[in-house]
Structure 1
Amino acid sequence: MTVQPFESFPHIPAQISFDRRELQVILSLYGRMVAAGEWRDYGISALRDRAVFSVFRRTAENPLYRIEKHPRLRMRQGMYAVVGMDGQVLKRGGDLKTVLRVLERKLIRSVD
């Protein structure tokens, strides 16, 4: 009996991507950070095991932050994660808005 890879598992998608609701939440934060002058560019990657929204200060550098969606981790640590430039996970959880709060704190500055 020969088994074709992934044909016997129709529930596994060919690639993972963000849906419209998730992109709306992410792009709302992105717009506020661009208006504040913190971020300038972004990139979206739809991979086989995860989707990644990368945020850049300048186009030709490594991403400042990566917002990742790992559907296989939804029952463990949570499907969403914010990863810093050095690869450290800043926040992980099952709710995208809650996870993105770690980045929203960067918008709050003291006024003298």
Structure 2
Amino acid sequence: MIKIETSEGAIFAQSEVRQIPINPLRPPSMEHIDPIRRWQDDAEKVWANQPWIVASEDGYQVFCIRPTETQPKLWGVFETLRAAIWYVLDAPEPTAATSWSDSDLNF
């Protein structure tokens, strides 16, 4: 296992390419978890907007979880590790959260 340093902490994985974990040790739970509770756990914070790749019988699966989501999303399954990595490197940037003011909430 190798250690990948991120701004939110360390990720341990079998390997990495350009900071993309390959077969990480403890990716976020695939079960539904309330987003507020999820991000209170320091072990989960490290995964927000951090794609990872898992090798499986079907190929290489790319997952990611955005801060407002309740569980990781499967971005795709690729025949080669190279294709999965290129997909992650070309992935769209997450959209910024909408900013609200108190006047917007006056009904």
Structure exhibiting the larger radius of gyration computed from Cα positions: 1
**TM-score, normalising length: structure 1:** 0.38
Relative to total residues, which structure has the larger helix share, 1 or 2? 1
With a CA cutoff of 8 Å and minimum separation of 6, indicate the structure with the bigger relative contact order.
2
